[in-house]
């Protein structure tokens, strides 16, 4: 069992698209897979056409008054389940802060599910907070999409420093380029120089593509409405590369 978090300090970089599409591919390969939508915006819940509502909200969830098991919804896809978001998740930081050992809470909540699922994807909200710390404790792998812009180097370095300073040795950071537009010289230049400076960046690159952008409209993973394209191939290559590392 492996727990992935699609995580970045930055917003709008492709975290949700990554969680939804990679979870779809894992499930299609017959692995029992769960996506936990931890973002109050509920984007991955929306993509799977599941209502973003959790009985009892963040308080009862974090207090452990509700078993996660009872909150899980099936999706339209075999082997693929979803734990939906709830608008109260905007207060997850505060709710966590009121508990003992807040950074251990998610790990503890997830532990009964580790027997049921081969892969769990945590779709994270953008920021670095107490919730992120709890996510880092619970996860094995941080999948971090990087848009090739000048700020992205700084973001990646901040994240690496954070992991090092906090001695999160169990956590493997797998950064990869997202929304890369090879027609733009700046994107090509940044991809080249960042790849040299950070050889741990994955080789697979998710292109900027209108069929991926349409996911929010179609409300399903890319492969649900596109047969074969550069984008479906890019996600397949990314999943293959990640699977080989596990
Ligand atoms: N490779 C891509 N090419 C084009 N558009 C994309 C691509 N990836 C994501 N998008 C679009 O960009 C927007 C943001 O993507 P997504 O929701 O996956 O990012 P996010 O990091 O989860 O955002 P947030 O921080 O708000 O949670 C969405 O409208 C999505 O459809
Ligand atoms: Mg998102």
Q: What is the pLDDT of residue 176?
A: 98
Mean pLDDT across 215-243: 96
What burial class does residue 146 get, using C-beta atoms within 10 Å of its C-beta: 0-12 exposed, 13-18 middle, 19+ buried?
buried
Spatial CB neighbours of 4, under 8 Å, sequence gap ≥ 6: 19, 22, 119, 120, 121, 122, 139, 140, 141, 142, 143
Is the pLDDT score of 64 beyond 90? no
91 vs 87: CA distance, rounded Å: 9
Helix (H, G, I), strand (E, B) or coil at 173: strand
Q: What is the pLDDT of residue 93?
A: 94
Cβ 19 vs Cβ 178: under 8 Å:
no
Nearest CA to ligand 1 atom 31: 213
98 C-alpha vs ligand 1 centroid, how far in Å? Answer: 32
- What does the pLDDT look like over 185-197, one tens digit per residue? 999 999 999 999 9
Count of beta carbons in the 10 Å neighbourhood of residue 227? 6
Find where tokens 């978001």 sit: 85
8 C-alpha vs ligand 1 centroid, how far in Å? Answer: 12
pTM tops 0.95:
yes
pLDDT level of residue 39 (50, 70, 90 thresholds): very high
Nearest CA to ligand 1 atom 30: 213
64 C-alpha vs ligand 2 centroid, how far in Å? Answer: 25
- What does the pLDDT look like over 94-128, one tens digit per residue? 999 999 999 999 999 999 999 999 999 999 999 99
Region for 42 from its dihedrals, namely left if φ exceeds 0, alpha if ψ lies in -120 to 50, beta otherwise: left
């Amino acid at each position: 069992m492996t727990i992935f978090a699609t995580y970045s300090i930055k917003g709008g970089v492709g975290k949700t698209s990554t969680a939804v599409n990679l979870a779809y591919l894992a499930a299609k390969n017959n692995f029992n897979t769960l996506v936990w939508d931890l973002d109050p915006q509920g984007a991955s819940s929306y993509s799977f056409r599941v209502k973003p509502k959790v009985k009892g909200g963040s308080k009862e969830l974090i207090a452990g008054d509700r078993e996660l098991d009872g909150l899980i919804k099936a999706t339209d896809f075999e082997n693929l389940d979803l734990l939906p978001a709830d608008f109260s998740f905007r207060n997850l930081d505060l709710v966590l802060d009121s508990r003992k050992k807040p950074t251990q809470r998610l790990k503890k909540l997830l532990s009964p599910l580790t027997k049921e699922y081969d892969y769990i994807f945590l779709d994270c909200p953008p920021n670095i907070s107490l919730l992120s710390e709890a996510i880092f404790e619970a996860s094995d792998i941080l999948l971090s999409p990087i848009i090739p812009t000048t700020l992205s180097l700084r973001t990646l370095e901040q994240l690496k420093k954070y992991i090092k300073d906090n001695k999160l040795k169990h956590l493997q950071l797998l950064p990869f380029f997202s929304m890369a537009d090879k027609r733009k010289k700046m994107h090509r230049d940044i991809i080249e120089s960042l790849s040299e400076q950070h050889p741990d960046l994955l080789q697979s690159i998710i292109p900027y593509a209108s069929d991926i952008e349409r996911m929010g409209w179609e409300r399903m993973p890319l492969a649900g409405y596109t047969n074969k394209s550069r984008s479906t191939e890019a996600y397949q290559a990314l999943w293959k590369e990640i699977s080989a590392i596990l």
